[in-house]
Structure 1
Amino acid sequence: MRPTWRPALLTILVLAVTVVTVALSLVVGKAAAEPAPVVTIGRPAPETFIAPRFEVFVDEEATESNRETARLNTEVQYKRNPESANQVTVRLLSFFEAVRQAAIPIPPAESTDPIASTSTTVAASEETQQTTTTSTTLPRPEQAVQVESVQASGFLVLGDVVDEFVAIYNRDLDRGLVEEPVVFGTIEDETLDLANQLLADGIKEVDLAGVRQTLVADPPFIFVAGLPEEERDVVQSTISRLVAAELRSNLERDDAATAALEESNASSVTDVTIVFREGDTIVSRGELVSSVQEEAIAFYDLLVPEEGPRYLATTILGALAVLLAAFFLWRVAPAQWTEPRHFALLGVLLVLAALAARIPEIVTAENTQAGYVLPAMVLGYLAAILFDPRTATLMAIPVAFFTGIATGDPGLTVFAAGATVTPIAFVSSVSSRRELRVAVALSAVTLAPLGAATEWMFGAGETMGRNVAAAAGFAFLGGVVGGLVAQGLLSFLENLFRVTTTLTLLDLTDRNHPALRLVEDKAPGTFNHSILVGTMAGKAARAIGADPLLAQAAAYYHDIGKTEHPEFFIENQFGVSNPHDELPPEESAEIVRSHVLDGLRLARQFRLPKEVTDGIRMHHGTGLMRFFYHKALETDPAVDPELFRHRGIRPNRKEMAIVMLCDAVEGAARALSQREDPTPDSLRKLVESIVGEKVDDGQLDESALTFGDLTRLKDSLVEALVGYYHARIHYPGFPQAAAK
């Protein structure tokens, strides 16, 4: 259960928020009579500023720009990776070893006769090649086999470089056999020297492709002693291609060193300074203000402090207006005070009033009479529809307060109070959208002479006649615009604060409403019953001073749940058997009971307001379904009557009690008319019986109906039923039943 203190606490919180918001609305952006110049970096200077004395200022923006340029111009630092050079050397050595190994003769797998052999040693440059010879010397593998062997050793990607080196090595071996100089060892040394020389210079990752391309396209001169002249170009190109293929980058970016150098370069940049001597122009009017100019203006204290409004006094007056309105509401309408949602709505209207009070100071720069366009009528219009005429009249106090605070104009203050009250009489009793538009037009027409009279009384000047006419025109314009704005705000505020207004109920009682169309299409008998109940409920509500429109709307929708299973309700059974005849009474009771839950679900679907939804929830209360209960008694005299009660809520307001009584009375009267011709006496007995039954069952205990109300209700119900079941002429030639 929600604590009883919580609504009051929420209301106090809403009140505090309203006070603060109103105060801010009145003071924020309040301009002084002579606004001080405002200097903004990057915007034109409002005037020319002169330096009063000598001063040096550091142009931080230009200095930082120079420092950033120094950082950007800093050369990227690199560090060597020795592992890259080692990997290149190992790969090259492995390649030459693979070439040598590929040329070694392969002995036969088996030998049947030992062969006497002699050994011949062949010397090579910086290496000893031992070749075993016999009367039959073992041949070297075919060159293609040697190439495959080298490639299989991990040098497949070198392509024809392997072919060239295998050929070079084989020619070198052939020269060794005839005791000519061998050069393969020298070629190996020159290859390693070339690679090491390039790595010593350092190679970046971004430069690696270019170095390789240069090596291949323009091989460096390589001298190999003993190499035949005709082979020099081939060997030189082959060495370059091998080195290019195996070369790797060995310089890596050193971010730490680069960053340190960047900061060192930036710190070495000298500050950019600007000197202002006495009488120098800091910035000319219309010139874009730089950061150093703005700093100098502030340093010299050249901006005259703005003489702001009296914020404290404005805040106090605004707060007093809100508190006065709250106190008045608490005294005359305590129910509004205890409902935080409604009080929050009032707070929104007060904030709108504060904002509206600021409009005259915006529009009166060129024409003082333009202040009469003040949309004070909006507040009275909204309050009269969303609340009641008393609360709407209350709005005149804060609106006048706020206008006086914001404008200091006594004429506009009086006009604001009158404009707030003007629409109340016109909109308080509207019953259609057309009447609402007429009310707006009448309010605007009334505001015209009000504005003219106010200007005539408080205005001055030689052009008084013109001023009065202008005031009347602006007041009329404000009334028209205010009415349009209020109609737009009304729907938004209704939905935001879930307030059910007269206009909401008017929309709900429109027979073209989708929910009513649904009832008419799916359950026509229920639709006719609901319309008749609504007519009776509206009449009965007027008889006891309740809200007839609410009672009528609640009655229209009270049986909307029957559209889910219309065939189970007698009013929709046209010439067909009653399905309840085949069902046990307990099941029938459950089906009938479910139309309340179905109705609540459909109410949420169609976004019906709570006040109307209460008619669905409360129109049966916790009453007993006597028909099915008595049917159950026929088979079980000890049956529990609680099994046949509705599980709704007892009516807690007069309008819902009226819907309950009208629903029961209309159904009973219809049943009576099917058995006999109703008479005033029989209808009165019927009404007395049903009302007495509801009272005895406690269904009306929470509805606040008095015995006097019940008496007037019964008279109204009898009058409505007699009017509906009046006697009819028996036309010749028509069946007797048609006369009923």
Structure 2
Amino acid sequence: MKIRSLLDITIFRVLLFVLLGFILYFAMYSNVKPEKLNLSLFTIAEQTVRSPITVEDKESTEKKRVEAEDQVKDVYIMKKEITENRVDLITSIFDSASEVNSEVKKSMEEKNKEVTEIEAEGSNPPVISEPSVSEKVQMMKEKLTEDIVKEVPDPVFHALISANKEDLSITKDLTITAINNVMSKEIPANQVENAKKRVEEELKYTSLNGNLKSAAIDLGRYAVIQNQFYDLIATQELREQAKESVEPVKILQGQIIVEENQLISREVYRQLELVGLLDNEKSVLPFVGLVLIIGIILTTLYYYFYELDARRELKQNFLLLYSLIFLLSVVIMKGISLIQQFEYSEVGYLFPAAMGAMLIKLLINERLAVLFTIIMAVCGSIIFNEGLTGAFNFNVGIYIIASGLAGILFLSKQNQRTKILQAGMFVTVVNLMVIISLILIKNGQYSPLDYTFYMVTAIISGITSAVLTIGLLPFFEAGFGILSTMRLIELSNPNHPLLRKILTEAPGTYHHSVMVANLAESACEAIGANGLLARVGCYYHDIGKTKRPQFFIENQINIENPHDRLPPQTSKNIIIAHATDGAEMLRKYKMPKEIVDIAEQHHGTTLLKYFYHKALQNVPDINEKEYRYPGPKAQTKETAIIGIADSVEAAVRSLNNPKPEQIDGLVRNIIADRLQDGQLNECDLTLKELETVGNTLCETLKGIFHSRIEYPEMTKQKVKQA
């Protein structure tokens, strides 16, 4: 009790969260602490070393890219326009010879015509002679460029200029065809001479005469040149593509860097340095990261509890209870993780992940249970990291989330204690499905023994969660006075000794209690209060009437009212005593405090008007306080609503065939009377909520006391009775 009251002070709440933080830190300290390894260059590794993180090996990546770039061959392209240009050049040489011959022939014809005209006049004509071959060659050279004249030997020009038109045309066609055949293929710089020889071979076996054949060969060799050239831009593009296609080389988390008894070479040493396994004793970053993640977890929890809409005492209870379940789960988790030291992998699947989630769901609420599951998943992914310092076991994290949510989901509408074991079976099925899905996603090779191990761990986790929940639930309920939904449902069982006592000893009171329960539950749910608590509280609120059942009107069936023979003081004492007697009886049976409070407070300090006015007739100056219940007044919404519903049900039941207007008037008057009498001053019911409560009570009562159809037989009987 002292601890709970201390939690109402901010500094002590903060200290509690700091304590939780320290415990979490030390639980996960060894899982993030960099491993101390004796690793030196050119020594033998004493143990197999795995990478604690996934990191890119940039040096190896660059080497691979250089290798990929070197494997790309130079790109060469064949320029077809060169072939066309060389063919045009050779064609122009042949055309130049044809043009010279044509010009000479035309010139000779004109001169002969002039000679004929002179002879006809009787004069002596000049002597006409055809230009020599050398002169024709000179004329041909003038039509060509200096480069051609220099590179093409004179015998070629002599042969072409000396050939007749037909031979020249044949030579031209054969030469151009041979050039096209050879230059249609790629001719790199080092193959030019071979290409020239191919042209020569092709023209050597033609039917041309000796001079023309030699000329054609010379022109063919002259025409053939390099047509394949290095393409720098295309080569660079291919090399860039090859470099970009190389995937970054990564050292994966868990990857073996050096095996036991293996020499630590320079490459291995570089990789060890890259993953941070050298000089790691000075690294504080993992610890900073751990503090940050613990800070996020605890800040989230603190904010949630700070904003939690609950009474101060209840909030303290919830915080302390949550902390204990949280610490218990972390201790169990850490204990199971120690098995990893014996080379047992995946032991995290043994953790009863649904235990804490189900306990918090049953004892506090569903939202906190979901938050608890997420936090446990984060802690589990670190604690069950299989000895890989700083790593995260996301498989276990997913497993814990699925297992915890499965337990919460199953118990969402199943609050009986007997359903917890069924929830454990449901969790087991979900565990198996999650493990199988993770195995299939990994696409690894597993033996039948591995599958058996996984199945056994899933079953143990699910069943253990249920067993621990069943075992721990009564201790938490008793130790913290928690009135859980499951406990309320158990108390509503008609076979409970106290309910059977009411039913057998005061049946009228039992019926009245059930009616009040229906009214109070609907009204509480309408304003967001605990309807189930109100219903169960109604069942027990008049348990004190079982001491003297015949003194209460609902139990006076076919008997005379004993209060008619008693003085008002005595009647008052008997009626008022049922509240205190009921509270005493409930305490004797160790009933929850909330139920005891309802029995004790549902009448508050209201006035017993009937007996007070009866007493006034005898003693005019009597003190009104003597005819009021001792209280206390209602402290909660549920108790206040039960008090209103109790009065409303009794008042409406006293009416004969109540009409809707009468019901509305009664309900409004009773609520107004409670307000004016100050009975609602100590609970947090608002006027708006009171309006909702009034409307709900009217609707429920109208449904209970609705008018019924009068059948013909009933009408006849009434006529006869009249």
Q: Which band: TM-score by shorter chain?
A: 0.5 to 0.7
Deviation at 1:584, TM superposition (A): 2.4
Whether 1:719 and 2:699 are equivalent positions in the alignment is: yes
Whether 1:351 and 2:327 are equivalent positions in the alignment is: yes
SS of alignment partner, residue 368 of structure 1: coil
1:118-137 alignment runs, 5 A limit: none
Whole-angstrom CA distance in 1 between matches of 2:427 and 2:485: 19
**Structure 2: 5+ residue runs without aligned partners?**
37-280, 386-392
Aligned to 1:521: 504
Work out whether residues 355 and 466 of structure 2, in 8 Å CA contact, stay in contact via their aligned partners in 1: yes
Work out whether residues 305 and 319 of structure 2, in 8 Å CA contact, stay in contact via their aligned partners in 1: no
Whether 1:591 and 2:574 are equivalent positions in the alignment is: yes
Shift in alpha-carbon separation, 1:427–1:593, aligned structure 2, 3 A: same
Deviation at 1:407, TM superposition (A): 1.9
Work out whether residues 401 and 413 of structure 1, in 8 Å CA contact, stay in contact via their aligned partners in 2: yes
Work out whether residues 506 and 546 of structure 2, in 8 Å CA contact, stay in contact via their aligned partners in 1: yes
Whole-angstrom CA distance in 2 between matches of 1:737 and 1:460: 87
Partner amino acid, structure 2, of 1:352? L
1:105-144 alignment runs, 5 A limit: none
Work out whether residues 518 and 563 of structure 1, in 8 Å CA contact, stay in contact via their aligned partners in 2: yes
Aligned to 1:242: none
Whether 1:374 and 2:354 are equivalent positions in the alignment is: no
Shift in alpha-carbon separation, 1:735–1:542, aligned structure 2, 3 A: farther
1:58-95 CA-partner distances (Å, limit 9, x unpaired): xxxxxxxxxxxxxxxxxxxxxxxxxxxxxxxxxxxxxx
Deviation at 1:397, TM superposition (A): 4.2
Match of 1:427 among 411, 420, 423: 411
Deviation at 1:455, TM superposition (A): 4.4
Shift in alpha-carbon separation, 1:667–1:737, aligned structure 2, 3 A: farther
Aligned to 2:551: 568
1:350-372 CA-partner distances (Å, limit 9, x unpaired): 11221232254355656534431
SS of alignment partner, residue 359 of structure 2: helix
1:258-284 CA-partner distances (Å, limit 9, x unpaired): xxxxxxxxxxxxxxxxxxxxxxxxxxx
Aligned to 2:600: 617
User: Structure 1-normalised TM-score?
Assistant: 0.56
Whole-angstrom CA distance in 2 between matches of 1:558 and 1:564: 13
Partner amino acid, structure 2, of 1:726? H
Shift in alpha-carbon separation, 1:507–1:637, aligned structure 2, 3 A: same
Partner amino acid, structure 2, of 1:449? M
Partner amino acid, structure 2, of 1:410? F
Shift in alpha-carbon separation, 1:519–1:385, aligned structure 2, 3 A: same
Whole-angstrom CA distance in 1 between matches of 2:720 and 2:445: 81
Whole-angstrom CA distance in 2 between matches of 1:737 and 1:507: 50
Work out whether residues 10 and 340 of structure 1, in 8 Å CA contact, stay in contact via their aligned partners in 2: no
- Over the aligned positions, Cα root-mean-square deviation in angstroms equals 3.9
1:586-618 CA-partner distances (Å, limit 9, x unpaired): 232222111111111111111111122221122
Identity of aligned residues (%): 29
Whether 1:494 and 2:477 are equivalent positions in the alignment is: yes
Whole-angstrom CA distance in 2 between matches of 1:481 and 1:314: 33
Whole-angstrom CA distance in 2 between matches of 1:738 and 1:437: 62
Whole-angstrom CA distance in 2 between matches of 1:684 and 1:640: 33
Partner amino acid, structure 2, of 1:421? L
Shift in alpha-carbon separation, 1:682–1:618, aligned structure 2, 3 A: same
**Structure 1: 5+ residue runs without aligned partners?**
35-306
SS of alignment partner, residue 430 of structure 1: coil
1:128-207 alignment runs, 5 A limit: none
Aligned to 1:85: none
Work out whether residues 363 and 371 of structure 1, in 8 Å CA contact, stay in contact via their aligned partners in 2: no
More helix by share: 2
Whether 1:638 and 2:614 are equivalent positions in the alignment is: no
Whether 1:536 and 2:519 are equivalent positions in the alignment is: yes
Shift in alpha-carbon separation, 1:320–1:664, aligned structure 2, 3 A: same
Shift in alpha-carbon separation, 1:385–1:520, aligned structure 2, 3 A: same
Match of 2:687 among 669, 691, 707: 707
Partner amino acid, structure 2, of 1:328? Y
SS of alignment partner, residue 395 of structure 1: helix
Shift in alpha-carbon separation, 1:496–1:4, aligned structure 2, 3 A: closer
Aligned residue-pair number: 461
User: Structure 2-normalised TM-score?
Assistant: 0.57
Shift in alpha-carbon separation, 1:336–1:389, aligned structure 2, 3 A: farther
Whole-angstrom CA distance in 2 between matches of 1:329 and 1:721: 39
Greater shift after overlay, 518-527 or 725-734? 725-734
Deviation at 1:382, TM superposition (A): 1.1
Deviation at 1:322, TM superposition (A): 6.4
Partner amino acid, structure 1, of 2:437? A
Whether 1:677 and 2:657 are equivalent positions in the alignment is: yes
SS of alignment partner, residue 479 of structure 2: helix
Aligned to 2:275: none
Work out whether residues 26 and 314 of structure 1, in 8 Å CA contact, stay in contact via their aligned partners in 2: no
Deviation at 1:498, TM superposition (A): 1.0
Shift in alpha-carbon separation, 1:516–1:530, aligned structure 2, 3 A: same
Deviation at 1:556, TM superposition (A): 0.8
Deviation at 1:525, TM superposition (A): 1.5
SS of alignment partner, residue 678 of structure 1: coil
Whole-angstrom CA distance in 1 between matches of 2:592 and 2:717: 46
Shift in alpha-carbon separation, 1:604–1:315, aligned structure 2, 3 A: farther
Deviation at 1:707, TM superposition (A): 3.2
Whole-angstrom CA distance in 2 between matches of 1:696 and 1:441: 55
Whole-angstrom CA distance in 1 between matches of 2:501 and 2:27: 47
Match of 1:453 among 434, 437, 440: 437
Partner amino acid, structure 1, of 2:412? S
Aligned to 1:341: 317
Deviation at 1:469, TM superposition (A): 8.0
Greater shift after overlay, 507-516 or 15-24? 15-24
